[in-house]
Amino acid sequence: LARGYLNNPELTSEKFVDNPFEPGERMYRTGDLAKWLPDGNIEFLGRIDNQVKIRGFRIELEEIENRLLEYEGVKEAVVVAKEDKERSKYLCAYIVSNNKIDRNELKNYLLKGLPEYMIPSYFIELEKIPLTSNGKIDRRALPEPNRKMNIGIGYEAAGNELEEKLVKIWSEILEVNEIGINDNFFELDGNSLKAMMLVSKIYKELEVEVPLNDLFKAATIKELSKYIINKDIIDKYKKNNKMIMLNNKKENNIFAFPPLAGYGIVYKELSQFLTMNTLYGFDFIEHEKRNEEYIELITNIQKDKPYILIGYSIGGNLAFEVAKNLEKQGYEVSDIILLDSLIREHKIDCSLDSTKKEAERMIENIKQYASEEDLLMFNYIKENYSIITRKIFKYKLYSNNVINIGKIKSNIHLIASCENKNNEKLNLWQKSTLGSFKIYNGFGSHNLMMSKEYIKKNANIIRDILGKIE
């Protein structure tokens, strides 16, 4: 009951009033309008306010409307409760705006001040709010919501294998064709019963357990796909904190070494585009015999055939050192793919204090990104903060002290960021290989090469490289 009134003293005093029957006690004003019948029964007549009950929560519609009106460009806003075919209630917001509204940005804005259950399922833009003859809002004249009217919902097809499987599952349960990855399950007539069927079918077909409460938070295929990938990854991390298989098992393997963040999980998005290969992501191993342990992990997975290694930023320097040691032990590394890695010719002079501060800055940046993009990952970081900070600190020390000397037989492919494509230092890698060396123009700045905006374009370059490896 208290959820909607926390940190809201004005609304609290309005709803929790003095009890006239018990001095010193308080009563809750429900807002229900009723009358007491002569036979002792109470007849419910409706509401005296704009409060509704959805999924067990009491909701003040006016509170949502006020929050909408605070959003830049929104002139008028009306929120109403609707019922679907199964009589399940949902919220619909009608908006008059000066600007073009981005639905996701609006939802994120609302979530900063309202709980998830108070976020409308539909946002419908109108030229004007209909009024009655006496100037009041004519709620009966508001159009019935449908999928095509919803702001910002454009059709986007499934982009990877997991999304395709989820589209198929949704289609079977909802009996709807042409489901896009941005469509909301509950806006396609999904209800609590169908949601239970969905989580059951996901568990049966994908062997992933999705709690029902989490489905309400990840109600699109895009969000649900990300949730499943990350849940699977975190579950695997709890079993093995040095290496993780990031996609489905395929015939050919790639072994990926992390950037300064220190965790192989950074390659999870990339793995969804490299569907012809199994991508294994390594965490940074903190002890000095890391090369020997990496070699043991790699050779346990792949007994024969030449190895392919990949590394982003300092991960490329680490991959080079592992390749060098693999070759020393008689193994063949056919190719190394470097993502914007600059060769280390000498140590970097940096105090322990400044190194520690840089590690702390980095984890705060990761936390901020995770809180916006991925609640599961954010919680994992929060629970393991000291361990992650230590790993980044140790990796930064390694980064300051590693020197890439010697030659390998492996071919080196270097994908340069837009800011480094003319950096002459990239060519220094040519002296480090007896094989071929080639530079490719990648997309995005150094820090954004693996971001949503550029990951697919850079993955296409990697796919082209892999396609030419014999």
Annotated catalytic residue within 97, 283, 335, 446:
446
Amino acid letter, 364: E
Residue 132: inside a domain, yes or no?
Answer: yes
Q: Based on the fold, state whether residues 127 and 22 are members of the same structural domain.
A: no
Q: Based on the fold, state whether residues 410 and 311 are members of the same structural domain.
A: yes
Q: Based on the fold, state whether residues 431 and 321 are members of the same structural domain.
A: yes
340 is catalytic: yes
User: Exposure pattern of 55-86 as b/e (b: 16+ CB <10 Å)?
Assistant: eeebbbbebbbebbeebeebeebbbbbeeeee
Give which of 267, 283, 251, 282 is closest to 384, Cα–Cα.
283
- Cα–Cα distance, 401 to 406 (Å, whole number): 16
Q: Based on the fold, state whether residues 66 and 211 are members of the same structural domain.
A: no
Amino acid letter, 452: K
Residue 106: inside a domain, yes or no?
Answer: yes
Q: Based on the fold, state whether residues 248 and 331 are members of the same structural domain.
A: yes
Residue 420: inside a domain, yes or no?
Answer: yes
- Cα–Cα distance, 404 to 425 (Å, whole number): 13
The answer for residues whose C-beta is within 8 angstroms of residue 123's C-beta and 6 or more apart is: 93, 95, 101, 103, 106, 107, 150, 151, 152
Residue 331 confidence class, pLDDT cut points 50, 70, 90 = very high
Residue 209: inside a domain, yes or no?
Answer: yes
DSSP class of 451: S
CATH number, position 250 = 3.40.50.1820
Residue 233: inside a domain, yes or no?
Answer: no
pLDDT of residue 89: 80
**For the chain, what is the largest distance between any 2 Cα atoms, rounded to a whole number of angstroms?**
99
The answer for residues whose C-beta is within 8 angstroms of residue 272's C-beta and 6 or more apart is: 159, 160, 161, 162, 229, 247
pLDDT of residue 376: 52
CATH number, position 113 = 3.30.300.30
pLDDT of residue 461: 96
413 is catalytic: no
Q: Which two tokens stand for residue 409?
A: 């037989």
- The residue among 15, 31, 49 that closes a domain is 49
The answer for residues whose C-beta is within 8 angstroms of residue 49's C-beta and 6 or more apart is: 31, 60, 62
pLDDT of residue 21: 78
pLDDT digits (tens, 9 = 90+) for 32-55: 667 788 888 887 655 555 677 777
Residue 293: inside a domain, yes or no?
Answer: yes
Lowest mean pLDDT among 98-107, 184-193, 424-433: 184-193
pLDDT digits (tens, 9 = 90+) for 183-227: 888 777 777 778 888 989 998 898 888 887 778 778 889 888 888
pLDDT digits (tens, 9 = 90+) for 368-380: 554 444 555 556 6
Q: Which two tokens stand for residue 291?
A: 């090369």
Pairing of strands 411-416, 333-339: parallel
Is the predicted pLDDT of residue 359 greater than 80, yes or no?
no
Q: Based on the fold, state whether residues 111 and 170 are members of the same structural domain.
A: no
Residue count (the chain): 470
Q: Based on the fold, state whether residues 246 and 325 are members of the same structural domain.
A: yes
Is the predicted pLDDT of residue 465 greater than 80, yes or no?
yes
Q: Based on the fold, state whether residues 95 and 134 are members of the same structural domain.
A: yes
Annotated catalytic residue within 183, 340, 341, 399:
340
Annotated catalytic residue within 97, 271, 313, 341:
313
In the block, which residue shows the tokens 């997975």? Answer: 301
Q: Based on the fold, state whether residues 174 and 201 are members of the same structural domain.
A: yes
Contact 234, 376 (CB under 8 A): yes
- Model-level pTM? 0.55
Amino acid letter, 459: A
pLDDT of residue 367: 56
Residue 390: inside a domain, yes or no?
Answer: no
CATH number, position 166 = 1.10.1200.10
Q: Based on the fold, state whether residues 288 and 421 are members of the same structural domain.
A: yes
More confident residue, 434 or 358: 434
pLDDT over 90, % of the chain: 31
Q: What is the mean pLDDT of residues 414-421?
A: 92
Q: Based on the fold, state whether residues 71 and 43 are members of the same structural domain.
A: no
- The residue among 120, 152, 184 that closes a domain is 152
pLDDT of residue 146: 67
**Average per-residue pLDDT in the chain?**
83
Q: What is the mean pLDDT of residues 369-395?
A: 65
200 is catalytic: no
Cα atoms in the Cβ-side hemisphere of radius 13 Å centred on 34: 11
Q: Based on the fold, state whether residues 64 and 20 are members of the same structural domain.
A: no
CATH number, position 28 = 2.30.38.10
pLDDT digits (tens, 9 = 90+) for 235-294: 665 555 688 888 877 778 999 999 988 888 888 889 888 888 899 999 999 999 999 999
- Cα–Cα distance, 327 to 321 (Å, whole number): 10
Residue 413: inside a domain, yes or no?
Answer: yes
Alpha-carbon dihedral 171, 177, 183, 186, rounded to 10 degrees = -50
Instruction: Give the E-state strand segments of 62-145 in sequence order.
Output: 74-83, 89-97, 122-125
Residue 180: which domain range?
A: 161-224
More confident residue, 193 or 334: 334
Q: What is the mean pLDDT of residues 422-438?
A: 92
pLDDT of residue 372: 46
Q: What is the mean pLDDT of residues 408-413?
A: 96
pLDDT of residue 111: 84
- Cα–Cα distance, 292 to 288 (Å, whole number): 9
Number of folded domains in the chain? 4
Cβ neighbours of 252 (radius 10 Å): 13
Pairing of strands 16-18, 26-28: antiparallel
